[in-house]
Amino acid sequence: MHEKCGVVGVSLEDRDAARPLYYSLYALQHRGQESAGIVTHDGFQQHSHVEMGLVGDAFEQSDLEQLNGSQGIGHVRYPTAGSVNACCAQPFSVSFKSGSLGLSHNGNLVNADEVGDQLADLGHAFTSDGDTEVIAHDLARNLLEEDLVRAVKRTMSRIHGSYSLTIMHDDTVLGVRDPEGNRPLCIGELEDGYVLASESAAIDTLDGELIRDVRPGELVVLHADGTGYDTYQLVQPENTAHCFFEHVYFARPDSVIDEQLVYEVRRDLGRALWDESGIDSDVVMPVPDSGRAFASGYAEAANEDADADGVEFAEGLMKNRYVGRTFIMPTQDERERAVRLKLNPIKSTVEGKTVTLIDDSIVRGTTSNQLVELLYDAGAEEVHVRIGAPPIVAPCYMGIDMASREELIAADQSVADIRDEIGADSLAYLSIDAIAGALSKSKADLCLGCVTGEYPYDIDGEAKDREVDRPAIGTAASADD
């Protein structure tokens, strides 16, 4: 279950949490369009509304009005092929002996089956095959025997993989980030409460102030009266495994993740791209909207480069702003035209010129191929493609739905082959070192699985890029304190 999702949690002093949660989910809509859900607690009971579709479609006025209570969590879920299924929409709710639990999960466990089997041995029955339900059951079980903080710690000792969680235990809202810090999670302050969210843009939307990122391995417990929060560093990781792809592609440019503004990281990556593989051309042109920050940094560096001729930054591909809505797809015959429904080249910007086209990444390569062709058709003399990330050579198991290995154009081809396949005059990717540099992190603190094929997790059939001693499940519990 590879999910790109968004999670949020709020605790307010005196105001219903439903509307702030709703706005937060709207701010995180780019992290998931398949389903949206909110669970609140009014001190006595949970209220829940989870539905398929975009935030705006999933909730009506009356739904928000029924979601009583000043505490709550929310979730948006990414549409992954084949799983368009109401059963997996979140937050996931259960009631158990010592109260109710709601969970919103962004990430992917690598040992969900193992933990699930152990719980099944103890008699647990599951309504879905999702790893979120496994976390919920494990936590519920631990809560029978221990207090909240110890219960979370025990669960963290048993589950492995990526997880940024917002949890509601009765009316207490928690945030948990996995020890590797793979997925983002941050905490912010509102005028009358606190908020946990996948990205700081959600905090901005609520007119709040970003306090800081939740640390890898940290638990944040929001006071149920909205006046404060406690934190517990439950696991002290030796190394992290931050996902650099959040910065490259997935997160909003206006979010700050792990202390860095995504937009600035992208501009820095663009500058590095010029340094590594800059090429003189008449115009530098982004693939809108994904390549814009990269192209702006690239052009800036080019124009500052005393050895270079100077370059024009131009918007040469115009996007139909209704892209992404319902649409009857072109027939097979018309398929090559499909890209023009989305992006139209501006002839005067392209005709007779040498063009550098900048994008954030290449996954399958089909769109790049179509765009290059489009630019030649519009009269470009040369088309050079520059990519603000390294070649993606392997799938992501940690929560970004990229494609399977067979579909990845770079999985088994050299850069020269890819250049030929997309038909460009030249092609260059960014180096992994440049990524680490722009993020001010050691490579050992990044998850680079998709660009190296070596993962910081135990994944069946895949290489591991580090040695970490993990306690075996089950013995973990006794090693708790």
Which residue is catalytic, options 5, 87, 88, 186? 5
Q: Residues 234, 223: contact at Cβ < 8 Å?
A: no
Considering the rule CB under 8 A, would residue 471 count as an interface residue with a copy of itself? no
From 60-68, 224-232, 462-470, 471-479, give the range in contact with a copy of itself by CB under 8 A. Answer: 60-68
Give me the residue label for tokens 């089956």. 113
Alpha carbons within 13 angstroms on the beta-carbon side of residue 252 total 21
Nearer to a copy of itself, 179 or 208 (CB): 208
Considering the rule CB under 8 A, would residue 340 count as an interface residue with a copy of itself? yes
From 157-165, 252-260, 398-406, 434-442, give the range in contact with a copy of itself by CB under 8 A. Answer: 252-260
Considering the rule CB under 8 A, would residue 296 count as an interface residue with a copy of itself? yes
Considering the rule CB under 8 A, would residue 321 count as an interface residue with a copy of itself? yes
Single residue of 43, 84, 144, 259 touching a copy of itself by CB under 8 A: 144
Q: Residues 133, 127: contact at Cβ < 8 Å?
A: yes
| 480 phi, psi to nearest 5 deg | -60, -50
List residues forming the annotated binding site for [4Fe-4S] cluster: 243, 396, 447, 450
Q: What tokens appear for 371 in the block?
A: 């765009």
Give the separation between CA 353 and CA 380, rounded to whole angstroms: 5
Q: Residues 147, 157: contact at Cβ < 8 Å?
A: no
Shortest distance (Å) from residue 275 CB to a copy of itself: 20
Residues paired with 313 in a beta bridge? 284
Shortest distance (Å) from residue 215 CB to a copy of itself: 22
Query: Residue 480 in 3-state DSSP?
Result: coil
Shortest distance (Å) from residue 463 CB to a copy of itself: 31
The letter for the amino acid at 26 is: Y
Give the burial string for 281-306 (b: 16+ CB within 10 Å, else e): bbbbbbbbebbbbbbbbbbbbbeeee
Q: Is 87 a catalytic residue?
A: no
Q: Residues 222, 17: contact at Cβ < 8 Å?
A: no
Shortest distance (Å) from residue 312 CB to a copy of itself: 9
Please state, in angstroms and as integers, the Cα–Cα distance from residue 262 to each residue in 15, 107, 246, following that order: 31, 19, 8
Single residue of 56, 228, 310, 474 touching a copy of itself by CB under 8 A: 56
Considering the rule CB under 8 A, would residue 204 count as an interface residue with a copy of itself? yes
Residues paired with 257 in a beta bridge? 260
> Of all helices (H) and strands (E), which one includes residue 476?
helix 475-478
String marking each residue 7-46 x if it binds a copy of itself according to CB under 8 A:
------------x--xx--xx-xx----------------
Single residue of 47, 137, 247, 384 touching a copy of itself by CB under 8 A: 137
- CA dihedral angle for residue 155, residue 161, residue 162, residue 166, rounded to 10 degrees: -20
Shortest distance (Å) from residue 224 CB to a copy of itself: 21
Considering the rule CB under 8 A, would residue 117 count as an interface residue with a copy of itself? yes
Single residue of 13, 79, 120, 401 touching a copy of itself by CB under 8 A: 120
List residues forming the annotated binding site for Mg(2+): 290, 359-360
Considering the rule CB under 8 A, would residue 211 count as an interface residue with a copy of itself? no
Considering the rule CB under 8 A, would residue 263 count as an interface residue with a copy of itself? yes
Considering the rule CB under 8 A, would residue 348 count as an interface residue with a copy of itself? yes
The full DSSP string for 3-53 is --EEEEEEEESSS-SHHHHHHHHHHTGGG--SEEEEEEE-SS-EEEEEEES
Considering the rule CB under 8 A, would residue 334 count as an interface residue with a copy of itself? yes
Residues with catalytic function: 5
